[in-house]
Amino acid sequence: MTVLYTSAGIRRRLAALEPYLYSAPALLLITVTTLVPIVIGISYAFRNVMLLDPTSGGFVGLDNFRDLMRDGSFWGALKNTVTWTVSCVAFQFIFGLILALLLNRPFPGRSIIQPIVFLPWAIPTFLIGMNWSWLFNPAIGPLPHWAYALGLMSAPDNILSDPQHALLGPIIASIWWGTPFFAITLLAALQAIPSEIYEAAEIDGAGSLERFRSITLPFLAPTMVVTVMLRTIWIANSSELIVVMTKGGPADSSQIVASYVFTQAYQGLNFGYASAVATALVVLLLIYALLLVSIRQTMLSSR
Amino acid sequence: MIKKLLLAGAAVAMLAAPALADTNLRFVQTNTSDESLAVLNTVIKKFEAENPGVKVELISIPWDNSFEKFATMIAAGDIPDVAEMPDNWVALYANAGHLENLEPYLEKWEHKADLNPRALELARKVKDTAYVLPYGLFVKSLYYNKKLFAEAGVAGPPKTVDDFMDAAKKVSALPGKYGYCLRGGSGTFNAWAMMGAATNGDNAFFDKDGMSTLDQPGWVAGFQNQIDIYKNGWAPKDSVNWGYKETVAGFYTGTCAMLDQDADVLAPTSEHMAPDDFGVVPMPKGKGGKAFPVLSYGSWGIMSASQHKDLAWKFLTMLDGPQTDPQWTKAVGALPIFKSAEKDPTYADPKYRAWFESLDDKDIVPTVTPGYLPEYSLFAGSTAVKLAQQALLGQITAEDLSKQFAGILTKAQQKYLAK
Amino acid sequence: MRGSYQTRTIKWALHYGILLLFVVAALFPLYWLVKVSITPNDILYKQGTDLLPSKLSFEHYATVIGKSDFLLFFRNSIIVSGITAIASTVLATASGYAFSRFAFRGKFWIVGVMLVTQMFPLVIVITPIFSIFGTLGLTNSLAGLIIIYTAFNIPFATFLMQSFFDGIPKDLEEAAMIDGATRFKAFVQIIAPLTLPGIVATAGFCFTGAWGEILFALLLNSSASASTFPVGLLLYSTRATIEYGPMMAAGVLALIPVCIFFFLIQRYLVQGLTAGAVKG
């Protein structure tokens, strides 16, 4: 009997398979439960799918996308999505950074203060939406009255029913919820910077602002790009706060693409069109992700 | 020999049969208040006692998300036996073939003659066939806050649209108070329809050619009234976003003095207001001395995919029979569908008089919104809301609004007629 | 010289002052939640804007615990979130290890696919998922929720675990393998225990994520026996009114475990991510 494979050869082959074996269970689960439905979901975009009409489902090619181009509500929602995403990410990042800087060095009380300021992350978003709706309602919440007393508002009104400012409500709630996420990841990144570098810079006479600019920021940058990218994708897709607090109103002034998908899917029951909108969002986010990944690569290679 | 075996086999089968007869009847409904659940649980217990081997599985889904929840269930094949059918769902599910035709069952029903003829008429809106069994009627009447009226110097409840606008103006002069609990958010279309029909003198949504009438000057005048109410501050600034619950809360907290709603608001209002502080009258009359309150209904349906249709009908007739129905309508605040039930002592309460008056008055013509159109749910649920909010906020005029309403409805109606 | 005593005092005052603002901002909405839950119904609206109600009452907690299925929903949430946390962490540990240690063909595409699954609005995939689960008999079950939550948690959990593994030098398992152990054995017995903080952090993260999920919980399951607490909260919004008192009470009760849990593990999240951040 000829030995067709040497044991060393088998081991080498297995070794090559190793990464796939380790990631297989995760990938299998994702493929079956998420990827396949997403592909089916995307396929709806090219068909006329009305949820409760069994006779629908015919192939319509790019019709849904053509309707999309002409749909004013979609473009309005897209504009809002940019406002929403940029504001949320920017402020979550800034406040998260401030928090992280404050928590970086040990101080008395840190072990109590740190968990408290991170707590908002643990609260379910829909509960946060209800909570903040209550806070913004002048009949039953204090915020409008305080804003009026501080001169920020001309009358204690509910900003959620003001088309100019309705989106502000969910943005504030989102900042409250999401700041801990950035604080945690930024803090982790800060603590990874060796203190010797700071000390050396101090000896050389660099002030704290100079140290921040030339040491902290460059060190933080590559890791932060990934975090910002992930968070942006999540936030762009998260319509829960908006749906709970304003339902996209008044007059669609706080509607974002993700909540628009929900409206088309579940009030119009037009899954074909809703899918087209969703697919458009995915394409835009993919472009964004690729952009950021290449930025990160550039940063890493120049380090 | 074979005969003996067969007999033995039959005997075993018969012994096994009761065990196999453990049927599960799945029942989906959307009323999760304590009173509603109490009535349902009593009926279920009685039904299970009278039908050994049958279990009724009560599935209560949250009202706010019931539309999408139920649509998802049906679309994915998770179909119950009996389901509550709010009136604006019926056309959708009946046209897709999900609801069982109940005419044959109704034919043989002993209580059919006791049904209020209007109830049957409403049930037959789709293809002239009864796909559902109504459990109650909802018709809009006007709630008004007696205390605020007295404070503002309003003589009595408004009888005409002009009285209504005048009362709203007077009450709004009181600091921090408003005349009308405007529903500017979800469900807003009903209010626009009622006001528009009243100023128009006619509530027909379409003319004989299937074109929408909503862009006619009579309707536009009504839309303008709504816009004026908001613009003049006769409704709270927040009300542009208000749905059902917010308007009701606005009324019983004494923030706004008038509310156009069904009898189901009586319960929460009575919890928060003393009985002498508020009253109910039929909707104010407009052009030609007529009023056109929106009439809707609640109903139960049997899903056509059910494996236990006869059993489902048996359950329905117990739930919706002349004895139990009044208890249910009391719990959900509807008007009973049985003529005999109208003499039930609960409905003798003077507060209910307004609704019965509305049903009996010849000058009060109930308005049924065009729920038979497949596009209506998107229109009423989202498009009309957005357009109405734009109008209230002054972003579009009453004429623009009427043209857009008419455009959408004409298109839908033409498509429907062409089929 | 580190600067005068005055400068240092100002710095510390600023430091604690700003932190105090953050603490108040974090706690205030939660305080309001608790306040509503202990305000009796009759003054709920009348004293709605007051900082402290004139009388306190635990009637809402009694309603929630005694008169509803809340305990059942709570138990279901614990089962679903707990198993999701364990399953996600186990699977993510394996895949995170693979991404950390190996450069293999298709890695870029696999990462890309994982990313895309996060980009697609969930609303569209619910119906296909429901159909697939329907044929597998997984609708209206806790198992269905567990599977879908795990699948959605894996991408970020993998990223977390990869980060933690990046912080452990490859030489460790390589030394073990030279000594004759298989990679798997080295992984399980040496490497994984070193990332215990990371594992705890990832599990905690997945737990909190699954705990508050509402869309799938509402749409995939219908009977009470398979519903989680977010659905329970929604049931307090009836046709006619929103019963804020019991709803907030139920919310507070549901928040206690997840807050305690998060309180305990947040330290490890920072610790673990720090190690990984070094390798960027």
- Provide ipTM, 2 decimals: 0.84
Q: What's the pLDDT score for residue B3?
A: 57
Contacts of A265 in chain B (CB under 8 A): 68
Among B287-291, B342-346, C143-147, C270-274, name the one with the lowest average pLDDT. C270-274
Contacts of A35 in chain C (CB under 8 A): 113, 117
Give, for C186, the enclosing helix (H) or strand (E). Answer: helix C183-186
For B94-116, b where at least 16 C-beta lie within 10 A, e where not — what string? bbbebbbebeebbeebeeeeebb
Average pLDDT value for residue range A192-212: 77
Question: SS3 of C59, please?
Answer: helix
R_g of chain C computed on alpha carbons: 24
Q: Which residue of B has its CA nearest to A51?
A: B75
Are the C-beta atoms of A84 and A170 separated by less than 8 Å? yes
Higher-scoring residue by pLDDT: C261, B147:
B147
Would the pLDDT of B406 be above 90? yes
B69 and C237: CB-CB below 8 Å? no
Q: What's the pLDDT score for residue B11?
A: 53
Reported as a pLDDT band with limits 50, 70 and 90, residue B419 is: confident
pLDDT in tens, A120-140: 988 888 889 989 998 998 877
Q: Which residue of B has its CA nearest to A155?
A: B237
Amino acid at B291: A
Restricting to B residues 207-226, those with a Cβ less than 8 Å away from any Cβ of C are none
Bridge-based pairing state of the strands B82-86 and B23-29: parallel
Question: What is the DSSP-derived secondary structure letter of residue B296?
Answer: E
Q: What's the pLDDT score for residue C273?
A: 66
Bridge-based pairing state of the strands B256-261 and B335-336: unpaired
Peptide bond between residue B134 and the one before it cis (omega within 30 degrees of 0) = no
Q: Which residue of C has its CA nearest to A225?
A: C280
Total Cβ atoms within 10 A of residue A12: 12
The pair of three-digit structure tokens given for residue A73, joined into one six-digit string: 């509500």
Reported as a pLDDT band with limits 50, 70 and 90, residue B1 is: low
Are the C-beta atoms of B211 and B402 separated by less than 8 Å? no
Mean pLDDT of chain B: 88
Q: What's the pLDDT score for residue B381?
A: 83
- Residue B310 burial by Cβ neighbours in a 10 Å radius (0-12, 13-18, 19+): exposed
Question: SS3 of C175, please?
Answer: helix
Average pLDDT value for residue range A64-90: 92
Q: What's the pLDDT score for residue C272?
A: 65
Q: Report chain C's terminal Cα–Cα distance, integer Å.
A: 35
Reported as a pLDDT band with limits 50, 70 and 90, residue C109 is: confident
C261 touches chain A (CB under 8 A): yes
Would the pLDDT of B213 be above 90? yes
The whole-model pTM stands at 0.85
Average pLDDT value for residue range B163-184: 93
Find the CB nearest A266 among B71, B387, B389: B71
Higher-scoring residue by pLDDT: A177, C198:
A177
C240 and B62: CB-CB below 8 Å? no
Among A54-63, B34-43, C6-15, name the one with the lowest average pLDDT. A54-63
Q: What's the pLDDT score for residue B17?
A: 47
Best of A145, A243, A269 to disrupt the B interface (most B CBs within 10 Å) is A269
Contacts of C134 in chain B (CB under 8 A): 76-78
Bridge-based pairing state of the strands B178-180 and B256-261: parallel
How many whole angstroms separate alpha carbon A22 and alpha carbon C95?
5
To the nearest whole Å, the CA of B70 is away from the closest chain C CA by 8
Find the CB nearest C241 among B30, B69, B268: B268
How many whole angstroms separate alpha carbon A231 and alpha carbon A246?
22
Q: What's the pLDDT score for residue C278?
A: 46
Q: Report chain A's terminal Cα–Cα distance, integer Å.
A: 57
pLDDT in tens, B353-369: 888 888 888 899 989 89
Would the pLDDT of A248 be above 60? yes
Q: What's the pLDDT score for residue C270?
A: 73
Reported as a pLDDT band with limits 50, 70 and 90, residue C88 is: very high
C222 and B264: CB-CB below 8 Å? no
Q: Which residue of A has its CA nearest to C34?
A: A131
pLDDT in tens, B165-174: 999 999 999 9
Mean pLDDT of chain A: 85
Q: What angle do CA B264, B267, B270 make, to 5 degrees?
A: 135
Would the pLDDT of B13 be above 70? no
Are the C-beta atoms of A95 and A179 separated by less than 8 Å? yes
Q: What's the pLDDT score for residue B390?
A: 94
Total Cβ atoms within 10 A of residue B235: 28
Alpha helices in B108-202 (DSSP H): 117-123, 146-152, 161-172, 189-200
Give the neighbours of chain C: at least 3 Cβ pairs within 8 Å.
A, B
Q: What's the pLDDT score for residue C2?
A: 56
Contacts of A140 in chain C (CB under 8 A): 44-45, 48-49
CA torsion through residues A267, A269, A270, A274, sign: positive
Q: What percent of chain C has pLDDT over 70?
A: 96
Best of A22, A225, A255 to disrupt the C interface (most C CBs within 10 Å) is A22
Q: Give the range with max mean pLDDT: A204-208, A256-260, C200-204, C268-272.
A: A256-260
pLDDT in tens, B21-77: 578 999 999 988 888 899 999 999 999 999 999 999 999 888 888 888 898 888 878
Q: What's the pLDDT score for residue C84?
A: 96
Among A40-54, A190-204, B280-294, B394-408, name the one with the lowest average pLDDT. A190-204
C95 and A132: CB-CB below 8 Å? no
C103 touches chain B (CB under 8 A): no
Average pLDDT value for residue range A272-291: 90
Reported as a pLDDT band with limits 50, 70 and 90, residue A4 is: low
C165 touches chain A (CB under 8 A): no
Q: What's the pLDDT score for residue B2?
A: 59
CB within 8 Å of A152: residues ≥ 6 apart = none
Q: Which residue of A has its CA nearest to C163?
A: A223
A139 touches chain B (CB under 8 A): yes
Q: What's the pLDDT score for residue B100?
A: 93
Q: Give the range with max mean pLDDT: A266-275, B12-21, C24-33, C203-212.
A: C24-33
CB within 8 Å of C96: residues ≥ 6 apart = C157, C158, C159, C160, C161, C162, C163, C164, C165
Q: What's the pLDDT score for residue B165?
A: 94
Total Cβ atoms within 10 A of residue C28: 14
Phi, psi of A5 (to 5 degrees): -125, 135
Are the C-beta atoms of B311 and B24 separated by less than 8 Å? no
To the nearest whole Å, the CA of A247 is away from the closest chain C CA by 15
- Residue B246 burial by Cβ neighbours in a 10 Å radius (0-12, 13-18, 19+): buried
Give, for B26, the enclosing helix (H) or strand (E). Answer: strand B23-29
Are the C-beta atoms of B91 and B372 separated by less than 8 Å? yes
Give the neighbours of chain A: at least 3 Cβ pairs within 8 Å.
B, C
Best of A40, A51, A259, A275 to disrupt the B interface (most B CBs within 10 Å) is A51
Q: What's the pLDDT score for residue B219?
A: 94
Question: What is the DSSP-derived secondary structure letter of residue B178?
Answer: E
Would the pLDDT of C141 be above 90? no
Task: State the maximum Cα–Cα separation within chain A, in Å, rounded to a whole number.
Answer: 94
Would the pLDDT of B144 be above 90? yes
Average pLDDT value for residue range C27-54: 83
Give the neighbours of chain B: at least 3 Cβ pairs within 8 Å.
A, C
Task: List beta partners, residue B367.
Answer: B294
To the nearest whole Å, the CA of A268 is away from the closest chain C CA by 13
Task: List beta partners, residue B115.
Answer: B338
The pair of three-digit structure tokens given for residue B46, joined into one six-digit string: 């009685």
Contacts of A142 in chain C (CB under 8 A): 49, 51
Q: Which residue of B has its CA nearest to C47?
A: B253
How many whole angstroms separate alpha carbon B57 and alpha carbon B340?
30
To the nearest whole Å, the CA of B150 is away from the closest chain A CA by 23
Mean pLDDT of chain C: 83
Q: What's the pLDDT score for residue C280?
A: 40
How many whole angstroms separate alpha carbon C14 and alpha carbon C173?
47
Q: What percent of chain A has pLDDT over 70?
A: 97
CB within 8 Å of B161: residues ≥ 6 apart = B195, B198, B199, B225, B284, B285, B286
Q: What's the pLDDT score for residue A5?
A: 62
Closest among A192, A248, A245 to A219, alpha carbons compared:
A192
Among A70-84, A164-178, A196-210, B87-101, name the one with the lowest average pLDDT. A196-210
Among A59-73, A145-159, A191-205, B91-105, name the one with the lowest average pLDDT. A191-205
Are the C-beta atoms of A174 and A234 separated by less than 8 Å? no
